Amino acid sequence: MNETVATFNKNKFEEIRIGVKEYKGFDLIDLRVWVDSKEAGSKVPTAKGLSLNVELFPQFKKAVLELESTLKKNNLLPE
């Protein structure tokens, strides 16, 4: 399975894609920076990113929720 579930701009040159992919028989959650490639004529993935086994999703989700709470508590995100 290779499926992108979300894409958003990191800056005017890079975007972040979040998805699910299979690599060497493992199902992974992939958060990756993509950039324009003149050679390819489209965006290509970079080495900048993170791949996690899907079994770690509950812990990852908990960490993101804790991060959201901390950001709000420190007025870095709107309530």
Say if 49 falls within a structural domain: yes
Residue 79 lies in a domain: no
Domain annotation covers residue 78 = no
Q: How many domains does the chain have?
A: 1
Name the residue range of residue 20's domain: 2-73
Render the burial of 46-58: b for 16+ CB within 10 Å, e for the rest. eeeeeeeeeeeee
Non-local (6+) Cβ contacts of 4 within 8 A are 17, 18, 19
pTM over 0.95: no
Q: Using one digit for the tens of pLDDT, what is the confidence trace for 27-77?
A: 999 999 999 988 888 999 999 999 999 999 999 999 999 999 999 999 999
24 falls within a domain: yes
Does any domain span residue 65?
yes
**What CATH number does the domain containing 62 carry?**
2.30.31.10
Confidence label for 78 from pLDDT (cuts 50, 70 and 90): confident
* Nearest-angstrom CA–CA distance, 79 and 68: 10
